[in-house]
């Protein structure tokens, strides 16, 4: 049975889109930018703010009641219902330690039938001092040694995982060059079954 490693934010859910539409636009009503204009991640330069301002806004959203209402990506949850039992699944996210508990609860609430292992690499935050076991997801995957397929929206993570001989799928988002639909992208997984 192959093991699929799933990124959480912007793969299992639409965190950036939801944050942008529910928080950023409400606080910046004159903003002319749309979600599809966020062709860089992090998008702070596009938004005209510092990285710290962007991260503070996103982190506040992660801890909000609004974030608890995030729904899974419809195509992804449908895929899990049809094909999830053919694979083992783990979640691997890079999130700030102050909010990773919310992410874990969200994953287990929506995907706990299939995802039995939640893992994270704490994303760097100003003035945060914690032990560093892995500097990034690739260090974690190298140590973990059991990933067959990685699904992530970050093209640089995908490129690095390929060098570890992990099969990869770049999840389509405005900040990467996957022009396929989510459905077409997930079909690549379904082919792995046969």
Query: Which residue in this structure is represented by tokens 């990773």?
Result: 100
Please indicate, yes or no, whether residues 171 and 189 belong to a single structural domain of this protein. Answer: yes
Tokens of 88: 């083992």
Instruction: Check which CATH number belongs to the domain holding 185 and give it.
Output: 3.40.50.1000
Pick from 191, 194, 185: nearest CA to 73: 185
- Indicate the helix (H) or strand (E) that contains 119: strand 115-120
Please indicate, yes or no, whether residues 32 and 128 belong to a single structural domain of this protein. Answer: no
pLDDT at 190: 78
pLDDT at 194: 53
Indicate the residue among 48, 68, 88 that finishes a domain: 68
Residues spanned by the domain of 58: 16-68
pLDDT at 193: 63
pLDDT at 125: 81
Distance of alpha carbon 72 from alpha carbon 76, whole angstroms: 7
Coil vs helix vs strand at 154: coil
Q: What is the pTM of this model?
A: 0.95
Give the number of domains in the chain.
Answer: 2
Q: At what angle do helices 155-163 and 137-144 cross, to 10 degrees?
A: 30
Please indicate, yes or no, whether residues 81 and 41 belong to a single structural domain of this protein. Answer: no
Please indicate, yes or no, whether residues 111 and 149 belong to a single structural domain of this protein. Answer: yes
Please indicate, yes or no, whether residues 124 and 152 belong to a single structural domain of this protein. Answer: yes
The answer to whether the beta carbons of residues 5 and 143 sit under 8 Å apart is no
Please indicate, yes or no, whether residues 125 and 185 belong to a single structural domain of this protein. Answer: yes
The ranges of the chain with pLDDT < 70 are 192-194
| Each residue's pLDDT tens digit, 95-127 | 999 999 999 999 999 999 999 999 999 998 877
């Amino acid at each position: 049975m192959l093991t699929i490693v799933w990124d959480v934010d912007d793969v299992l859910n639409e965190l950036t889109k939801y944050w942008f539409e529910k928080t950023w636009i409400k606080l910046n009503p004159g903003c002319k930018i749309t979600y599809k204009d966020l062709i860089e991640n992090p998008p702070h330069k596009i938004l005209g703010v510092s990285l710290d301002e962007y991260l503070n806004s996103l982190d506040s959203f992660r801890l909000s009641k609004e974030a608890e209402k995030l729904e899974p990506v419809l195509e992804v949850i449908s895929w899990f219902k049809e094909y999830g039992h053919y694979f083992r699944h783990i979640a691997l996210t890079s999130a700030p330690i102050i909010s990773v508990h919310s992410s874990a609860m969200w994953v287990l609430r929506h995907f706990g039938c299939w995802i039995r292992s939640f893992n994270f690499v704490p994303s760097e935050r100003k003035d945060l001092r914690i032990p560093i076991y892995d500097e990034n997801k690739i260090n974690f995957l190298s140590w973990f040694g059991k990933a067959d397929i990685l699904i992530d929206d970050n093209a640089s993570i995908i490129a690095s995982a390929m060098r570890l001989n992990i099969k990869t799928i770049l999840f389509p988002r405005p900040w990467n060059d996957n022009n396929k639909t989510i459905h077409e992208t997930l079909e690549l997984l379904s082919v792995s079954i046969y």
